[in-house]
Amino acid sequence: REALHEALAAEHERIAGGVDSAIEIGVVDAKIDPAHTRSVVTQALAEAPARRGRHKNIPL
C-alpha cells in the first residue's frame, strides 16, 4: 500500500506539478493539516457573505 501511495504521489507531482505549485499559481488557497480541517471549514463558512433572498420555485 505504501508503494502504491508513493507511486501515485510521484505521478501527481509529475503531471500536475504538486500541491506547492498549485498554491503558487493560485489554484489552491492553502494546504490544510487534516487535524485542522473542521476548524478551517467552519471559519471559511463564517466569513462567507450572507445569502440574499431565497431561491424561487422554477416552472417545470
Domain boundaries along the sequence of the chain? 2-47
Using one digit for the tens of pLDDT, what is the confidence trace for 4-51?
A: 999 998 998 888 887 888 888 888 888 999 999 999 999 999 999 887
pTM above 0.75, yes or no: no
Q: What's the rounded Cα separation, in Å, for the pair 22 and 12?
A: 12
Rounded to whole angstroms, the Cα distance separating 46 from 29 reads 17
